[in-house]
Amino acid sequence: MDTPRQHLAELLRGGRNTSGLSLRAAAERLTNKMGDSYSYSALASYESGKSLPSPGVVMELVKLYDMPEKDCRLAEALRGAIPNNTRGAA
């Protein structure tokens, strides 16, 4: 059974793939939008479930990937269901 963390990772990976963006292109656009530096390896870590993006990053990614409204709400709910202190745990 998928955990919320795994489901969020799959949702973000699917959204990026559907958008046609590479990890590097997505990281560059996220960096430009958020003002902080994001590497492609950070996005890969989010997409694998190894690390957890902040709620703000989740919402910027779903906007960047132009994900459907239902997926935006799901991503927000999934992120909210994951405690911040669950570093790499699945």
In whole angstroms, give the CA distance from residue 63 to residue 69. Answer: 10
Q: Specify the residue for token string 């709910």.
A: 77
* Residues whose CB is less than 8 angstroms from the CB of residue 68 and which lie 6 or more positions away in sequence, other chains included: none
> Tens digits of per-residue pLDDT, 10-66?
999 999 999 999 999 999 999 999 888 999 999 999 999 999 898 889 989 989 999
**Residue 89 has what pLDDT?**
40
- Tokens, residue 73: 């709400």
Tokens of 6: 């795994």
Q: How confident is the model at residue 87, as a pLDDT?
A: 45
Contact 30, 37 (CB under 8 A): no
